[in-house]
Structures are given as C-alpha cells and as structure tokens.
Amino acid sequence: MSALWALAGNPNVGKTSLFNCLTGSRQKVGNWPGVTVERKEGRVRTSRGEALVVDLPGIYGLGASSVDEQIASQFISEEPLHGVILVLDAAALERSLYLALQVRERGKRVLCALNMVDMAEQKGIRVDVKGLEEALGVQVVQTVARSGRGVEDLIRAMEEAELASEPLAVDYGEAVGASLRRLEGFLSSLGPMPFDARTGALMAAEGDPRVWVALGDRSGGLDAVLAEENRRLEDALGMDLQSALMERRWSWVSALASRVISFDPSFKPVAT
C-alpha cells in the first residue's frame, strides 16, 4: 500500500499548486462524501514506490466550525496518515503558524513546505528555517509552487524525512496546564476513545463537538468538569478555558514569528 499524505494549510497558500506539481496528471477529482466540496487525490512517484496525496480544503485551525474545517480536521485526525504536508506561506508566516502548532500538538507527523518564498524575497522577508524546524519539530522545505522550485526536495523529504510523532508541548502556564491535565484525567477515566486523552482534552477545551459525539452516553460528566475548570480560570485569569487556550497559542505563535522572521536591512521596495 502506498504511503498516505494529507496536504493541508490555510486558504490560498499554494496547496493546490503544490499538489499539481507533486502529482502532475496522476490525479483523481471527486467530491467529499455528502457535500459538494471538491476532493482531489493524486499519486506521487518516489524512489521507494508511490505516495498518495490528498489536497484538503484550506483551514485556519483544526476545529469543526465550517464544512471545510470538518472535512480537513477529520481527515487529519482519523485517517492512517504517513504524514501531513503542511503548506506555510513564507510571505505571511505568522498566520500559518497557528495551524502548525495545532497539528503538531496533536502529535501528527508533519513535513512543512515553506511556500511563496519568491514573494517573501520580493518583500525582503527572511525566514530562519532552522529555527522554525526546531520549534515545531518538523523538517521544512522551501518551495515556489508556481514555478516548481523546491518540489524535488519536497519529494525527497517525503521519502527520507524522519518525522517526529512526539506531540509538541506548548507551555500553557500553571492554571491552564492544570485544567488541561484534569480534563485529560477525566477523559482517561471514561475508557477508550478514538483519540488519545491529551488530544481529547484539547478538543473538549476548544468546544469541539466531536468529543461529545465520540463519547456518546459517556459524555454526561464532561459539561460539569468543563464548567468547573471555566470557573477556576475565570477566577485566576478572568477568562474561560477556550479563550485562555487561544490567547496562549497566539502568544506562542507571535513569539515564534518574531524569532524566525526578519527583514532584510538592505531591502529597498521596488518603486511602482
């Protein structure tokens, strides 16, 4: 069986362009089950055989608040993936990093395509690729999907990269960290779930309805546990768990962005 990869990222970062570069004409186009959202899959020839790549709808996070998010995050969560090719926009990197954090936080194996490096160069933006790799625990390949630059490197990385599956550990601080651990403990006590307890705790904290669906009639106590944690955090931080989680993630993202993005000091914008 060929290795299955998901191609994921924000809207308009070049996923479909990259998909076309990777698969050429070896594509199959259809719809996602039950909806009229286009589903593309294609085959990539590698030196080790073949890989199957699925082009996912563009998303900003792994929630379930739109059909696109439901399709993409369910695919990433539930399919037996070899890895996720996460497409990042080098010219608007900060926005891309929230999704990267979320996917890595769930312990998914990720290979990053830092796309649009031509646009970044034109704007005098430099990205510290090594720093990005270390912070996310991923390999980063620079690409220009419009011209095909870097695509051979990406295919080689799909064959050879040792992708970390250890979940990224974000420091949420004492209060939020403790709430997440209690939620995790509660979920573990309910018996087997389709995702690990840490992922379940994060999803429950985000209000992702799929946790409630997965737990079915075992979900009874979850609302009470969440209400209790929200009360604690309102007292300690003045916000509920979901807001605290988002705030901490955005500050993690913006700290990382300011470490790895810089501007070429000799850059002069071209007069138009």
Residues 128-167 that bind ligand GDP (CB under 6 A): 144-146
Which is closer to ligand GDP, CB of 77 or CB of 115?
115
CB of 26 or CB of 123, closer to ligand GDP: 123
Which string of x and - marks every residue 7-26 that binds Mg ion (by CB under 5 A)? --------xx----------
Of the pair 77, 115, the CB lying nearest Mg ion is at: 115
CB 140 within 8 A of CB 157: no
Residue 113's closest CA among 124, 127, 122, 123? 127
Q: Which is nearer to ligand GDP, 37 or 119 (CB)?
A: 119
Among Mg ion, ligand GDP, none, residue 104 binds (CB under 5-8 Å by kind): none
Binding piece for ligand GDP, criterion CB under 6 A, among 104-112, 113-121, 166-174, 222-230: 113-121
Minimum Å gap between C-beta 29 and Mg ion is: 12
What φ, ψ does residue 41 adopt, rounded to 5°? -130, 155
Q: Which residue is nearest to ligand GDP (CB)?
A: 14
In the region spanning residues 135 to 164, those forming contacts with Mg ion, defined by CB under 5 A, are none
Give CA–CA dist 263/217, Å, rounded.
54
Window 11 to 30, contacts with ligand GDP (CB under 6 A): 11-17
**Binds ligand GDP (CB under 6 A): choice among 40, 44, 56, 58:** 58
Decide whether 68 or 247 has the Cβ nearer to Mg ion: 68
From the list 8-16, 46-54, 94-102, 162-170, the region that binds ligand GDP by CB under 6 A is 8-16
By CB under 6 A, residue 83 contacts ligand GDP: no
Say if residue 192 is exposed, middle or buried (CB neighbours under 10 Å; 0-12, 13-18, 19+): exposed
Q: Which residues contribute to the site for ligand GDP (CB under 6 A)?
A: 9, 11-17, 58, 115-116, 118-119, 144-146
